Amino acid sequence: MRFAVRVEVRSLEGIADPEGQTIERALPALGFRGVEAVHMGKLFRFVLEADSESAARATADQMCSRLLANPVIEQADVWVEPLGADASDEPAVGRSA
Partner 1 sequence: MTIRRIPPDGTHRSLGLTDDEYGEIVGVLGRPPTDVELAMYSVMWSEHCSYKSSRVHLGRLPTEGRRVIVGPGENAGVVDVGDGIAVAVRIESHNHPSAIEPYQGAATGVGGILRDIFTMGARPIALMDPLFIGSLDDARSRYILDGVVRGISGYGNSVGVPTVGGQITLDPTYKGNPLVNVFCLGLMHADHLVLGRATGVGNLAVLLGSRTGRDGIGGVSVLASAAFGEAGSGSEAAKRPSVQVGDPYEEKRLIEACLQLLDEHLVVGIQDLGGAGLACATSETAARGGLGMDVDVTAVARREPGMSAVEVMTSESQERMLAIVTPEALARVQAVCDRWEVRATVVGRVRERDEDGVGRLRIRDGFDGEVLAEVPAASLADDAPRYRRPIAAPTDLAERRAFDPGLLAAPADCGADLLELLVDPSWIYGQYDHQLFLNTVFAPGAADAALIKCAAPGIEWTGKALALSADANPGWCRIDPRLGTAATVAESALNVACAGGTPIALVNCLNFGNPEHPEVMWQLSEAIDGMAEACTALGIPVVGGNVSLYNASEGVDIDPTPVVAVVGLLDRLDRRPPAIGWVDGDEIVMLGRTVPVLGGSRWARSVRHHVDGELAPLDLSEHARLVELVAWLVAAEAGGEPEAPGLVSGIHDVSDGGLAVALAECAVAAGIGCMLRGVSSHLELFSESPSRVLVATSRAPELVRSAFAAGVEASVIGSVGGDRLVVEGLVDLALEDLLEARQANLSGVLERRAAAS
Partner 2 sequence: MSATVAVVCFPGSNCEHDVVRALGTLGAAARVVWHGDDSLGDADAVVLPGGFAHGDYLRPGAIARFSPIMDAVRAFALLGGPVVGICNGFQVLTEAGMLPGALRRNSGLRFVCRTAACTVASSSSVLTAGVPVGTRLALPINHGEGNYTCDAATLASMEEAGQVVLRYDENPNGSVRSIAGVANAAGNVVGLMPHPERASSALIGSADGQILFGALLGSVAVTTS
Binding site for partner 2 (CB under 8 A): 15-16, 18-19, 22, 67-68, 70, 72-73
Residues in the chain: 97
Task: Tell me which H or E stretch contains 7.
Answer: strand 2-11
Instruction: Name which of partner 1, partner 2, none residue 16 binds, using a CB cut-off of 5 to 8 Å depending on partner kind.
Output: partner 2
Residue 86 CB, nearest distance to partner 2 (Å)? 31
Q: Comparing C-alpha atoms, which of 60, 50, 49 is closest to residue 6? A: 60
User: Among 37, 67, 92, 97, which residue interacts with partner 1 (rule: CB under 8 A)?
Assistant: 97
